Amino acid sequence: MPDDKFEQLRFELTRGGVAQVYVERTLLELSEHYADLESAALAAGFGADEAARRAREALGDEHALAAAILSRRELLCFEARHPRVANCLHSAAAIGAIPGLPLIYCIEHRPELARWGVAFSLAVTLVGGILATLDWLIVV
């Protein structure tokens, strides 16, 4: 089976929610089975193109393979098997991360915050100096 067929099968399985470990294992087994079928056809005396065609026919259509794999719920990842629970866990994890968001923001934007801090300090100093001068002028 050509690699593009395996990539299409990989895409369908991943999109269907099959756990990545099962996707990789399935594709490895299919490629080994395809190689065995092709070498058996070559040993039987068929040409390379005919051997590849026979191996493809013996494995079957990639859509049928994907449908057979997707029908087995135990191969699906947790998020595909239990979407509501997974959504609640993702929400809880996001809420747990909220107190750390300002710290993460400050770490990621250090140069901008340093420039802002210097500009703010200069502005406070300038305005404070102006107000102190006005206060001195009013009192005198």
The SS3 assignment for 18 reads strand
pLDDT tens for the chain, 140 residues long, are 445 667 888 999 999 999 999 999 999 999 899 999 999 999 988 898 898 888 888 888 888 888 999 899 888 888 888 888 888 877 777 777 677 777 777 788 888 888 999 999 999 999 999 999 999 998 87
Cα distance between residue 120 and residue 122, in whole Å:
5
CA–CA separation, 82 vs 97, rounded Å? 23
Which 8-state DSSP code applies to residue 140? -
pTM for the whole thing? 0.57
Rounded Cα distance between 18 and 109, Å, is 38
Q: Reduce the DSSP state of residue 5 to 3 states and report it.
A: helix
- Ramachandran angles phi, psi of 137, nearest 5°: -70, -35
